Amino acid sequence: MNFHTYHERTKHSYTSIRQNASYMDWNNQPSQYKCYRDKFEHINLNDQIQAHRFIYRIGGISAKKSYSSGEYFLRTNPSAGALFPNEIYFQVRGVDGFVDGIYHFEVKTSSVVLLYSLDEDGVERYLGLKNAVEGFIFLTSAVFFRSSWKYKDRAFRYCLLDGGHILGQIEASSYLMDFAVRHLYCFDKVSLNKIFGFEDREFFISASVVGVPRGELPESVEFLLPFVDGTGTFIANKIVEEVYENTLICYERRANNRASHFNFRKDVFEETIFRRRSIREMHKEGISKESFDFIIDTVNQSVMSDCDEKVEIFVIVNRVIDMPLGVYHDGKFIKHGDFSRKAGYLCLEQYHLGENSALTIFLASKSKNYQAMYQKAGIIGNRIYLSANYLHIGCSGIGAYYDDEVSEFLELDSEYMILYGICVGN
Asked whether 314 and 416 are in contact (CB, 8 A), the reply is no
Tell me what the mean pLDDT of segment 107-128 comes to.
Answer: 97
- The whole-chain average pLDDT of the chain stands at 96
pLDDT of 258-302, one tens digit each?
Answer: 999 999 999 999 999 999 999 999 999 999 999 999 999 999 999
Residues in Cβ contact with 39 at an 8 Å cutoff, skipping those fewer than 6 apart: none
Tell me what the mean pLDDT of segment 337-346 comes to.
Answer: 98
pLDDT of 401-411, one tens digit each?
Answer: 999 999 999 99
Q: Shortest CA distance to 417 belongs to which of 115, 157, 73? A: 157
Domain spans in the chain, listed from the N-terminal domain onward: 3-245, 277-425
Check pLDDT > 90 for residue 85.
Answer: yes
* pTM as predicted: 0.97
* CA dist., res. 342 & res. 326, Å (int): 11
Tell me what the mean pLDDT of segment 347-373 comes to.
Answer: 97
- Give the domain 277-425 fold: NADH Oxidase (3.40.109)
Written out in words, the top-level CATH class of the domain with range 3-245 is: alpha beta
Alpha carbon 303 to chain centroid, angstroms: 13
pLDDT of 120-161, one tens digit each?
Answer: 999 999 999 999 999 999 999 999 999 999 999 999 999 999
Tell me what the mean pLDDT of segment 218-241 comes to.
Answer: 96
DSSP secondary structure letters along 266-314: HHHHHHHHHH----S------B-HHHHHHHHHHHTS---BSS----EEE
Check pLDDT > 90 for residue 72.
Answer: no
Q: Shortest CA distance to 419 belongs to which of 332, 309, 279? A: 309
Domains 3-245 and 277-425 agree in fold: yes
pLDDT the model gives residue 97: 95
Residues in Cβ contact with 298 at an 8 Å cutoff, skipping those fewer than 6 apart: 262, 263, 383, 384, 386, 387
* CA dist., res. 208 & res. 141, Å (int): 12
